[in-house]
Every structure is written in structure tokens, then in C-alpha cells.
Structure 1
């Protein structure tokens, strides 16, 4: 979900490349007042990446109607229960409470913004990525994300072990939701999609790194413990 009034088009391609390292983007929307000339540069990149533009008129000077529209839509989408993560693309502190609310629901909140982004918004997200680091992202296509399953190399398995250990409680068990978030915070993000897996739990079982246990109801929680 992109705050078009707060973001420039040139970051979109590397931004989507980074999002693919976390998972596939099943819904892509950008919000703004498309009657304004400063948003004209978005047209070409929106068509290229199949992003749906949401029109929001600026009814009053000094009031950000775009932010409000984006927050309302985010909450509607959150309550569908269809999404495991939200990417909030803005440098505006107005989205601090939204990121916090998303996390309260047990859903991952990823933030993207420039260096002037207020600290409150950065800390409200599970992971925050600065625009000026996006060009360093290695492109991962949707086809690569869905490639044949393969076991990670030893170096990647060691990263996985380290994150599971760091995410574990006093009993040695770590919630996979927490493990997944912490893997995404690595300098080079680690996701199951990189290795052809839809779920991190399946990758862990096949690699033999840890045992998996499902706990809780009505919302089961997958837990991992190193062998």
C-alpha cells in the first residue's frame, strides 16, 4: 500500500523487488489525488507493475485525505484475515498507529520510507527499509519464488539455526511467525520462497534443522525447536 503523495515513482521497481524477497504481493494499491500534475509520473510504472490507483480528492488544504483513505482500506483488508503481511510505503508518521494495529492482529508490518521518516513509524514496524538501500536488493522474480524445492546451502542453514535460537523462549521453542519476521530483518532477507517452499515450516522439516509442533486453537501456532 503506497502513499503516492509521499513517494516518488523511481523507487517502485526496486521496492517491489524487495517485497518479493518476503513473499508475493497479492494486492498492490497506491493512493493519491490523481488530478494533481505531480502524480503524472506514476502512470507508466503503474501499468508496468499492475498497481491499482485509488483516487482521493484533497477536500481541504492542510488535511491529508490520502492518508485517511489508505488507513481505512488497510483496516478493511486486515479484518478479512487473508493477508500475512502489509507493506506500508510512506515516510509519514501518520501511519505509526496503523503499523502498530496490524502487528496487534498478529500480522507482519513492513515499512518503507526515506531517511527523514519519524522514529515512531520505524519502530512501529516489524522491519523498516530505507529507500536509498533498495538499489542493493537482488531481484527475485515470481517465477524464481515458485521454483523447484531445494534445501538451502550450509551457510543459509546456519543463518536459519541462529535466528531460531535467537527467537526461542526459555524452553527452546520459537514461534515460526517470530522466526519469519526476524529472518526478514537480516541484511540479505531469508524466505522460504527463495527455495521453492510455500511455508517456512515445510522448509525447516525438509532441511532437518528443527522439530515442528502445532499448538493452540482456534488459531494454530507453529513452533520450532532446534535439534
Structure 2
């Protein structure tokens, strides 16, 4: 099993856990848990593979991904009530899932020798699209769009870091580790210390 496959498995598992936690907050039934978990787990990777014309899409070629996501949903369904703060668990698990998925998407694009811009965009879409789908489906404000929070910018920074690293001759594995680390540190900083990007504030029109 190569590093890209391991990254996909890890991102599917952790993103599935976040999807199931969101389902618990929405008080869905067991099928709803499985649906949201699977959507979250494979959503970003599916967008990536479709855009890169990879055939078959990763979870179609290896259905084990869906089984892992469904298993994660079952675990959360029976244990979510034990968590003191499901939202806190959600945002931190999501931060890990984001970092892993960005590295996975970036690595796949690098392995296909895509141009740097495409590599960065694939890393961002792999990391962000599953969580975006999850939150939209259950009617929550997407974490991706929380005002001023570092999220998409974390994915961007991580993927750019990997592109620069490989351009400087860094082995792909180390470049992807740097990608995941940069992405997570920025996201964690946003959660712990309130790191924010400037937001647009409307001004009255000039007369």
C-alpha cells in the first residue's frame, strides 16, 4: 500500500467521523448517519478524481472506503452521547481530516504530473469539498465559510508548500508531510488563538 492510498484511507476515516458527528447534531437516523458520513468521506476525493479524469473514481475502484465510512458512522451513532462537546470534537477532527485530505489531493495531482496551479486546486478541493457538502446537506453554516476563520486558506497554504517543496527537490513524502503540517498548524491556530483573515466591511457610499 503506497502513501497516497494511506492518505486516502486516513482522510476517509476521519472525515466520516466528522460527518457522523454532524448527523448526531441533526438527530438523524442510522441511515442518515451513514449517508452523511459517506458523503463527507468521499466527496472531496470524488471531485478530485472527476476533475483529473481518474477512472475509476477511488472509492468505486476500491469499495472498502465506503465500508470504512459506514463503520465510522455506526461507531458514532452508538457513542456520540458520551461526548461532552460534540461540536468541539467535530472542529478538531475536521482540522485533522482537512490536513490529511489536502495532502492526499496534492499527492495525487503531483503523481499525475499536473501543473502547479492544478496541484494546488486539487489539494484544496479534496480537503474542502467533502466538509462543504456535509454542512450544506444538514443545513449548518459550512465551516469553510465561517466568517474570517482560516480554512480554505489553510488548504491553499499547505498545498502551495508541497508544490514549492517538490520544486526544490524535496522527496514527495516529505513535501506531503510538510503540506499536512502547515495546513493543520494554521487551522489549529485559528481555533486556538483566533487567527483570522481580514473580512470585507461595507462602507456608506460617498455622496
TM-score by length of 2: 0.29
Structure with a larger share of its residues in helix: 2
- TM-score when normalising by structure 1: 0.27
